[in-house]
Amino acid sequence: MSPLTIYTAASVRHIHSVRLFHDALRARIPGIRILDWTCKATPPPDLTPAQRRQWFDTEQQGGQVYAFCRDACASADVVVYLGQSGQDAGVEVGLAAGAGVPVIGVRGFLEAPGLMLHGAVNVWCQDYDSVN
C-alpha cells in the first residue's frame, strides 16, 4: 500500500503553522508523504517585505511554485485547507475539488467561507483536534 499523500493549501502568512501541522502529521502517521510548498515559497531571509512580494511575482520563481502547487493539488490523496487563507489557497482548493481530490477545511478563527470555498470543501473542522 502506498503512503498517504497530502497537500496543505494555506496562505504564505501561515507558513509556520503549515510547518508545525506537517510535523504533527509526520509524528502521527508513519510514512506519510507531504507535498510541501513551504521550502519552495520561502524567499531569501534578507529581503524587505516589498522585495519579498517582488520575489514571489517573478515568472521564474512564481511559475515554479505555481506548477508545483497545481500538480500537488491534483495528485494528493487529500488536500487540507488551513484557514483563514486568501485567494491562492481558495484556487488550490478549487483545483483539488476539480480533480476529484477530497478536501478537509480547517476554518480560521473568524472565518466565514464564501459559497464557492464552502462548497468545494468536503468536510469542515473548527480546529485540528476535530479532524478525525
Judge contact between 9 and 74, C-beta under 8 A. Answer: no
Residue 79: predicted pLDDT? 98
Average pLDDT on 31-39 reads 95
Question: Which pLDDT value is given to residue 34?
Answer: 98
Question: CA 62, CA 54: separation in Å to the nearest integer?
Answer: 10
Q: Do residues 95 and 73 make contact, with C-beta atoms less than 8 angstroms apart? A: yes
What angle separates helix 49-57 from helix 59-75, to the nearest 10 degrees?
Answer: 70
Looking at every residue in the chain, the average pLDDT score rounds to 89
**Average pLDDT for residues 104-108, to the nearest whole number?**
94
How many residues appear in the chain? Answer: 132
Q: What pLDDT is recorded for position 60? A: 60
- Which pLDDT does position 132 carry in this prediction? 46
Q: Is the pLDDT of residue 112 over 60?
A: yes
16-53 burial code (b ≥16 CB/10 A, e <16): eebeebbeebeeeeeeeebbbbbeebeeeeeeeeeeee
Mean pLDDT in residue range 5-19:
94
Q: What is the pLDDT of residue 61?
A: 66
